[in-house]
Amino acid sequence: MGAFARRALLQGAAAGLATAAGGTVLGDGVALAAPVRNGQGRVIPLYGPHQAGILTPPQQNAIFLSCDVTASDRAGLTELFRTLTSRARFLTAGGRPPKESPSSTPSDSGILGPTVVSDGLTLTVGVGASLFDDRYGLSGRKPVQLVPMKAFLHDDLDPALSQGDLLIQICADHRDTTVHALIDILTHTKSAMKLRWRIDGQRNPERPVGVRRDWFGFKDGISNPDTTDPAQMNQWVWAQPKSGEPDWAAGGTYHAVRIVHFHIEAWQKVSVAEQERIFGRRKASGAPMYAVGENASDVLDPIYTNDPQGLITPLNCHIRRANPQTPDTAATSTILRRSYDYDRSPNVPELDMGHAFVCFQRELETYIAMQTRLEEEALVPYITPKGGGYFFALPGVRDEKDYYARGLLT
């Protein structure tokens, strides 16, 4: 990608984020109405050709819930997806749960009070490769690139924190809303699936402006395609009809989640100058290495054509390994990032803080190729990937008669 094109893309992404409150444009050119407020927070529409929680500007809080399906047959699996759809329909819209007598088992946890608030909630459902084994007769309908996540060179994957038949991404504006949705979903689906692992995440405020920072103090996720551009979304995110994928998969996307532990104590011992060379950006501003001012823009293009030896931006720094800006890596350098930070530190001797790296892409091989390049990055001594998985985020629920995975199951 040329310098001008890349700069235009970055500026478009920034503009898209700035105007996202005005509405969401879907990848096939269909515009969703802007999130509306019902007195209980904003409502992000459930229905559409694509699921919410992908192009949706990231909410403040998230829970990633991986589950193993225990339904005994295809009918039970179908009922599970119908139940998930029913719960998503209620939880994302908000409202009063069914009224029960004081002596009955409550129909709702009550965490959000007598009325469930919508609070910008989105539920994004994906399927893992293991769902396509011989249990439900789906082996011939698996997305063509969907595979279990294998360890890269420096990974230390915990099987108890990896893989899964289903992934449910729960995002909302406040933490009590995500926890409420978690409890509600597990309560209503306990006969058909069980929790495998979960990771809770948050997105830090933009300090001072622009893009948020991760636990290493660097701005994270600066370079993203423009989510308001249907052509870019069709090119980089959404599975297309007649593209080699099963017909049912059109409108879905590959969803990668990587749980990456940060070695905070070791990182704190590294000078800021060296930290910047490891990341390939300025720590204060998020700008490329050639921009020395603290207030430099973080959407400037880190141009490498005049730096072939890596004297300004090291060849093994994070951003240059992720996207070297060479012709042979152009096709595997664009993903849609939607990551969160986690902190699971209490009652352990070492800080357990890190990154729930989350991305969506039309082809899973795009992400795998990018991550393979990162096996030799300078950041390796300071991070250890511990888990996660690859999933296929289902096409959207079209209307009140539709349900998650209907195209897959019928």
In a domain? residue 89: yes
Residue 42 lies in a domain: yes
End-to-end CA distance of the chain: 41
Residue 410 included in any domain: no
Two structure tokens written together for 39: 């007195």
CA nearest neighbour of 162 among 250, 260, 85, 259: 259
pLDDT at 35: 62
**pLDDT for position 312:** 97
**Which residue range is the domain that position 240 belongs to?**
3-96+110-405
Looking at the domain assignment, is residue 105 inside a domain? no
Per-residue pLDDT at 101:
82
Q: How many domains does the chain have?
A: 1
Examine residue 293 and state whether it is found in any structural domain, yes or no. yes
Cα–Cα dist 212/206, whole Å: 4
What sign for the dihedral angle of Cα 20, 26, 32, 38?
negative
Per-residue pLDDT of the chain (410 residues; tens, 9 = 90+): 433 334 333 333 333 333 333 343 333 334 444 566 555 789 999 999 999 999 999 999 999 999 999 999 999 999 999 999 999 999 999 999 988 888 888 889 999 999 999 999 999 999 999 999 999 999 999 999 999 999 999 999 999 999 999 999 999 999 999 999 999 999 999 999 999 999 999 999 998 888 999 999 999 988 899 999 999 999 999 999 999 999 999 999 999 999 999 999 999 999 999 999 999 999 999 999 999 999 999 999 999 999 999 999 999 999 999 999 999 999 999 999 999 999 998 766 789 999 999 999 999 999 999 999 999 999 999 999 999 999 999 999 999 999 999 999 99
Asked whether residue 60 is domain-assigned, the answer is yes
pLDDT at 350: 80
| 103 found inside a domain | no
> For residue 8, is it within any domain?
yes
Q: Give residue 29's pLDDT.
A: 37
* HEC secondary structure over the chain: CCHHHHHHHHHHHHHHHHHHHHCEECCCCCEECCCEECCCCEECCCECCECCCCCCCCCCEEEEEEEEECCCCHHHHHHHHHHHHHHHHHHHHCECCCCCCCCCCCCCCCCCCCCECCCCCEEEEEEEHHHHCCCCCCHHHCCCCCCCCCCCCCCCCCHHHECCCEEEEEEECCHHHHHHHHHHHHHHHCCCEEEEEEEEEECCCCCCCCCCECCCCCECCCCCCCCCCHHHHHHHCCCCCCCCCCHHHCCCEEEEEEEEEECHHHHCCCCHHHHHHHHCECCCCCCECCCCCCCCCCCCCCCCCCCCCCCCCCCCCHHHHHCCCCHHHHHHCCCEECCEEEECCCCCCCCCEEEEEEEEECCHHHHHHHHHHHHHCCCHHHEEEEEEEEEEECECECCCCCCCCHHHHC
Q: What global pTM score does this model have?
A: 0.90
